[in-house]
Structure 1
Amino acid sequence: MTPMEMRTDHVNRSVQRAHRMTNRVRRWGWEFAEHREANVDRRAKRVDRE
């Protein structure tokens, strides 16, 4: 296997891994977004109280 072939193989694997991550984020993105909103609200309330 030439270095170029090894590199192509590695890149393809990286792309596949990134793609899987993207799908997972898209699937769970809503929950993450709501969680982040809750954190922002809590932070805003804390600032108001100070």
Structure 2
Amino acid sequence: MGSWPTRLPTLLGAPIDHVLATSQWKTAGFQVITTEDAAGSDHRPVVARLSPAT
């Protein structure tokens, strides 16, 4: 899903916003939040759920 710009639908936007983590973490989930598109930013918020790597 594209996180930028909010003026375009997520399927046409660019996925330029990232969450960086070390190898000590694994991704448990990732979501681009579209409900805040009218908040004034040209980027959509992203949420990442991380858990310790085993």
Normalised to the residue count of structure 2, the TM-score between the two structures is: 0.21
Greater fraction of residues in strand: 2
Q: With a CA cutoff of 8 Å and minimum separation of 6, indicate the structure with the bigger relative contact order.
A: 2
Greater fraction of residues in helix: 1
